[in-house]
Chains A and B, each alone.
Chain A
Amino acid sequence: MCDSCGCDSSSDPVTISKPGSHFHGHGHPHDHSHDHDHVHVQSRTVRVEQDVLAHNQAISEKNRAYFAEHGIFAMNLVSSPGSGKTTLLEKTITDLKHEVLMSVIEGDQQTARDADRIDATGVPVVQVNTGSGCHLDGTMIANAIAKLEPEDRSVLFIENVGNLVCPALFDLGESAKVVIISVTEGEDKPEKYPYMFRAARLCLINKIDLLPHLDFDVAACREFAARVNPELEFIEVSARTGEGMGQWYAWLKSRLPVDGHAG
C-alpha cells in the first residue's frame, strides 16, 4: 500500500535498513518464492492466526467508549494531499468557534505546519507526527486525547495524514469518517480508493469555486462514489468563498448531542 499512499517505501528502506550478517535476501523485492516446502531440517512451522488489525481495533474501541461517555463527536477527516483539508478546517473553526466547542488532533508525517495554522484560530490542538507512518492509529489517538483533554460535549476533528489508502483500514474510534476531495482531482477518485469511500459517512467536494475553469464532472464523481457506498452523503463546498459551508455546518451541528452546546 505504500506505493500508492505517498508515505512510501522509497524513504523507508533507506532509513531503517541495516542488513545483518544473516541477511540472505536478494536485491529484488519481489523475488520471493511462494511456498516453503524446502524448509531446513531445524525449521519448525507454527500456526498462529493473529489478526493484524485486532490490536488497533481494541484500542480504538476504548477511544470510542471514551468519546461516547463524554459526548464528544469525533470526526476523522481523510483526503489526498492538496484537497484543501486544513483550509476547510480553519474556516470551519473560525466560523463556528463561538457556537460549538471544538478541538483538533493534527496528524502529519513530519511537520507541525498545519497544527500551527489551527493553533492560530485559538482552539486547542495537539500535533501527532507519524514519521514515516502514512496514517494515524488508535494508540496515537489515545495518547493525543490524554494530552488534549477535549471538553465534554464538544467536536473533535482528527485530521488524518493525507492519504486515502491506509487511513481507511485503521479505525481510530471516531464517530464518522469524512472524506474530502477537491474538484482539482479526478472524479474517479472513489473508484480508485473504494475502501475509503466505503468507510466514509460524508464526502465533502471542495473547491467548487474552481468548477468553471475545470472539466470536473460532479455528477459523475457522486455516481462513482454512490456505487461503492450508496449511503454516502455529499456536500459541495468552497472553503475559500464560503459557498456550501452552511450546509456542512448544519450537518455537523445535527450530529452533536441533543443536550449539548451553548449555541
Chain B
Amino acid sequence: MSLALNIVDLAVEAAEKENGGRLSGIEIEVGALSGVMVDSLEFCLEAAARTTKAEGATFSIVSKAACGKCTDCGIDFAATSFYQHCPGCNGIGVQITGGRDLKVTAITIEEESPDV
C-alpha cells in the first residue's frame, strides 16, 4: 500500500510544480524485476488516490522488460530472473542492466478552467 501512496505523492508533487491542477492520468513504469505485483498495485492506487488531487485519475501501468548483460561474452539479452544463465555462452556471469525500476514516468494534468 505504501508504494501506491508514494506514487500518488510523487505525482501530486509533480502536478504542484506544473500548475496545481487536478490529475487525470498517471503513467507508471514497472520493471519486470522490480518486485512489484502489478495487480495488487493497481488495486491500491485507486484507494491511495482518494481525497488527493489524483482522485479518479486513470493509472496506466507500463511493464518494462528486464535485460541482462553477460560479462563473459558481452551480449545483451532479455532477462526473466535474477539468476539465469547467459543464453549466448551459458555462462553465469550475468548482470541485470535494466528492468528493476519503479517509476512515475508521466502525469496528465487538467488545466484550470473557470467552470471547475
A residues adjacent to B (C-beta < 8 A): 1-4, 7-9, 12-13, 16-20, 22-25, 29-30, 32-36, 39-40, 42-53, 55-56, 132-135, 137, 165-166, 168-169, 194-195, 198, 227-230
Contact = CB atoms under 8 A, between A and B. Distances in A.
B105 interface: yes
Interface string B63-78: 0000000000000000
Give the 5 A-B CB pairs with smallest separation, nearest first.
A195-B35, A42-B111, A13-B47, A3-B40, A36-B25
A52 to B, nearest CB: 4
A interface, by DSSP: helix, strand, loop or mixed?
Answer: loop
A47 B27 CA distance: 9
A51 B25 contact: no
B59 to A, nearest CB: 6
Contacts of A198: 82
Given A3-B40, A36-B58, A227-B83, A169 B35 contact: yes
Contacts of A35: 60
Given A45-B108, A50-B10, A40 B39 contact: no
Interface residues of B, number: 51
Given A16-B47, A16-B51, A23-B56, A36 B1 contact: no
A42 B110 contact: yes
17 contacts: A2-B40, A9-B43, A16-B50, A20-B55, A29-B47, A32-B58, A35-B60, A43-B108, A44-B18, A46-B107, A48-B10, A50-B103, A51-B103, A52-B6, A56-B6, A165-B35, A168-B35
A133 B106 contact: no
Contacts of A168: 35
Q: Is the interface of B mostly helix, strand, loop or mixed?
A: mixed
B101 A34 contact: no
Contacts of B60: 34-36
Interface string B29-58: 000001111011111101110110001101
A189 to B, nearest CB: 16
A24 B50 CA distance: 11
A135 B103 contact: no
A44 B109 CA distance: 5
B14 A46 contact: yes
A45 B47 contact: no
Nearest to A39: B108
A46 B106 contact: yes
A43 B106 contact: no
B36 A23 contact: no
Nearest to A14: B47
Contact of B42 (A32, A39, A42, A169): A32
Nearest to B92: A230
Contacts of B41: 1
